[in-house]
Chain A
Amino acid sequence: MGRRDDELTPAQDAQADQLLRDLMALYGEPRPAPPPQYLAQRIVAALPQQPATLARRRLPIAGTGASLAGVLALALFALGLWGVLGNSAGPAGLLGGAASGLGRALLVLTLAAKPLVGSLAAIGLPTLAGGALLVAVASWAWWSLVQRPLPGGMEVLS
């Protein structure tokens, strides 16, 4: 049947290692691919102007922005829930109600969302859960396919 790859003895492994080295040596490999002479200079020129410690410190600020966006999204979701499940005119009332353009727009959105949410609720929890599970499984399968190496090491070369 043959050995599993990880059952090679150290001697067999060393032999296989040397065989490949000998084979590559026929082609003058392995040798490093020489970089263009201008590359180091180009890289140094591309470095951020601020010192390394400051360049690092910028990242937490970006993280703060992401947190703020998350809080905002949560607030909008809560407002939407209030309008759809509770008082339809409630969120619009915060923005001036029917008297203001923004209030009217929000009221229209809330009223349009209500029948959609009602339809989803009518489907039933087991069906909703089943549908969500199906979407999750399909997403996982797609992601796994994307991560898997292509057969024969095929790559799209640029």
Chain B
Amino acid sequence: MQHLEEEAQWIADALGGNQLAFAQLVERYTGAVYNLCYRMLANQQDAEDAAQEIFVRAYTRLSSFDRNRRFSTWLLSIASNYCIDRLRRRRFAWLTLDDVAFWLPSSESGPERSALQHERDDVVQRALQQLPEQYRLVTLLRYWYDMSYNEIAAHTGLTESALKTRLHRARKMLGELLAPQGVLEWDEETTS
């Protein structure tokens, strides 16, 4: 409760012109917003840019924030809508030289961990990218943000029935992509 009262004070101060108060909210929620953006957009640079834009939007719309709601929920709804829009705009994005350079093998040495561990860490992220964006969003809200069905339904504007259908299909797709045989192969390789 103290946490919420503290946020309410920061919001009131930010509306009163204290930008440092809003900076406290940025500090608190950068991780949550970045995580959503990264999981949705699958690119660190895009996720950083998106997180910045989301907070700027929250700042410019702060006077429209309903103080009966949780700030985190409101912020994540801005983030969700932004990421969905951005993914839709990507459909029309032409391939750029930066994209080609990304695919080419890099001569720079990567972080110091085994290639196999790195591959394992990315498995779930790559599987998430196989989901349609609306399925990916509800999956993230359910499993990464522990939202209840009611909360996700309110967040996305879906009925609970439509949400359950969407989530169930997402689970099936993810389950097939993360099938145990993948794990078994990894275990065999590490123990051989």
List residues of A whose CB falls within 8 A of some B CB.
4-6, 8, 13, 16-17, 19-21, 23-24, 26-30, 32-36, 39-40, 42-44, 46-48, 51-53, 55-56, 58-59, 146-147, 149-150, 152-153, 155-158
Are B17 and A53 in contact, CB atoms less than 8 angstroms apart? Answer: yes
Q: Is B118 in the interface zone, CB < 8 Å from A?
A: no
Q: By the criterion of a CB under 8 Å from any partner CB, how many residues of chain B are at the interface?
A: 72
Cβ distance A48 to chain B, nearest Cβ, rounded Å: 7
Can you name 17 A-B pairs with beta carbons within 8 Å?
A5-B168, A23-B174, A35-B34, A35-B35, A35-B51, A42-B52, A44-B26, A46-B52, A47-B56, A48-B56, A52-B14, A53-B15, A146-B91, A153-B130, A153-B136, A155-B91, A158-B43
List residues of B whose CB falls within 8 A of some A CB.
14-17, 19, 22-23, 26-27, 30-32, 34-35, 38-39, 41-48, 51-52, 55-56, 59-64, 87-88, 90-91, 93, 95-96, 98-99, 102, 120-121, 123-124, 129-136, 142-144, 161-162, 164-165, 168-169, 171, 173-175, 178, 180, 183
Q: Which of B34, B96, B123, B165 contacts A6 (CB 8 A)?
A: B165
Cβ distance A24 to chain B, nearest Cβ, rounded Å: 6
Given A52-B15, A158-B46, 18 other A-B residues pairs in contact with their CB atoms under 8 A? A5-B164, A5-B165, A5-B169, A6-B161, A23-B178, A23-B180, A24-B124, A27-B123, A34-B31, A43-B56, A47-B19, A51-B19, A52-B59, A55-B60, A146-B91, A155-B129, A158-B43, A158-B93
Report the 3 A-B pairs with minimum CB-CB distance, sorted nearest first: A149-B132, A35-B34, A51-B17
